[in-house]
Amino acid sequence: MFEDLLVYITVVEQASLNKASKLLNLSQPALSRKIAKLEDELGVLLFNRNGKRLELTRTGQLVYTYAIEQRQRHVQFLESISRYKQAERSVLTLGASLTTIQTTLPPLVKALMNKYPDTELKLVTGKTHEIVSHVRDKKVDFGVVASSIEEPGLLCIPLFEDHLELVVPSQHELLQEDRISMEDLSGQPMIIFSKGTWYRRVIDDLFARHNVIPDIRMEIDSFEAIVRLLPTCKAAALLPKSYLRTPLLDKNEVVTIPMKELEQTRRRTCLIFGQKTDLNTETRQWISEMKKTLSSALSV
């Protein structure tokens, strides 16, 4: 089923069997059979077929998110296998929240692993309070959390501040306006974070304060899935600035629109570790390089 899920991702993102078949080097009938097979295996309808147009069903949206997650796990698995084939390395254990993993960590890990290629990084995920507990209990060497922490026995070093930005497809109607305000988002098709996340609480509060009632098309946890679906759904989204690097925007044909009100969503990301932690040399180098590396990596 995994291969069929990869095919399904391409069909969803292209919103066309014809375009997807060319990318996958499959005939359109063969591609249709693969989608039909996936629907039979899952026992659900993934698309509403309106002539040549394909419209995702609600279940189809859930399957797409699941498929993205499975692809990411597969890549991580292959990377893990590759590491085991290499020589034994020094190990650092990092704790981070799921939202931090999607924003701060990718450029940070890439930059620092380039600098310290013989160090193996182990990652522990959890909510902010869980990461704080892991650091306090010495289950991880240090943590990266999207908030300032004041707790006895822990040091908290601010790394950078972040805020939400409006993201739209490159041909979106809002780009015709000279200035965009929160009120302009009323009635706009939007993809937003699932309920229960910090970003969703901030967005709901913003909408309530400005009496904004958007047309919510999807609620998704994955930043990647949101960005990829914006052009297909012709929708807008509010995403962390630290995630919206230029190559990502260009690849997905989306752009950001400055909004003064969104500066109110500012949030500080910090590094935390124990005051009495016996950190090895490489861990201390990691910490000393953290701010400098983030500054350059997140500006790409």
249-281 confidence digits (pLDDT tens): 999 999 999 999 998 888 888 888 887 655 556
Q: Residue 193 carries which DSSP code?
A: P
**Does residue 231 belong to any structural domain of this protein?**
yes
Tell whether 114 and 150 lie within a shared domain: yes
Tell whether 250 and 179 lie within a shared domain: yes
Tell which residue, 203, 195, 194, 188, has the closest CA to residue 238.
203
- Give the CATH number of the domain where residue 150 resides: 3.40.190.10
Confidence of residue 223 (pLDDT cuts 50, 70, 90): confident
Tell whether 94 and 61 lie within a shared domain: no
- Residues 224-250: pLDDT tens digits? 899 999 999 999 999 988 888 888 899
**Does residue 195 belong to any structural domain of this protein?**
yes
Mean pLDDT, all residues of the chain: 83
- Give the CATH number of the domain where residue 19 resides: 1.10.10.10
Task: Quote the domain boundaries for residue 91.
Answer: 87-161+267-297
Q: Residue 127 carries which DSSP code?
A: -
Contacts of 71 (CB under 8 A, 6+ apart): 5, 6, 9
Tell whether 239 and 154 lie within a shared domain: no
Contacts of 194 (CB under 8 A, 6+ apart): 200, 219, 220, 221
> pTM for the full model?
0.59
Structural domain tally of the chain? 3
**Does residue 249 belong to any structural domain of this protein?**
yes
CB 284 within 8 A of CB 260: no
The Cα 103–Cα 298 span in angstroms is 9
Tell whether 151 and 124 lie within a shared domain: yes
The Cα 96–Cα 125 span in angstroms is 5
**Does residue 81 belong to any structural domain of this protein?**
no
**Does residue 254 belong to any structural domain of this protein?**
yes
Tell whether 184 and 246 lie within a shared domain: yes
Tell whether 57 and 138 lie within a shared domain: no
Does the structure show a pLDDT above 90 at 188?
A: yes
Please give the pLDDT value at position 262.
93
CB 91 within 8 A of CB 119: yes
| Token output for 269 | 């990301």
Tell which residue, 228, 175, 165, 231, has the closest CA to residue 202.
165
CB 245 within 8 A of CB 102: no
CB 188 within 8 A of CB 216: no
The Cα 146–Cα 159 span in angstroms is 10
Please give the pLDDT value at position 197.
76
**Does residue 286 belong to any structural domain of this protein?**
yes
| HSE-CB for 202 with a 13 A CA cutoff | 17
- Residues 25-69: pLDDT tens digits? 888 888 888 888 888 988 989 888 777 677 888 998 999 999 899
Tell whether 46 and 190 lie within a shared domain: no
CB 272 within 8 A of CB 97: no
Contacts of 119 (CB under 8 A, 6+ apart): 89, 90, 91, 92, 113, 282, 286
Tell whether 53 and 122 lie within a shared domain: no
Please give the pLDDT value at position 92.
78
Tell whether 261 and 271 lie within a shared domain: no
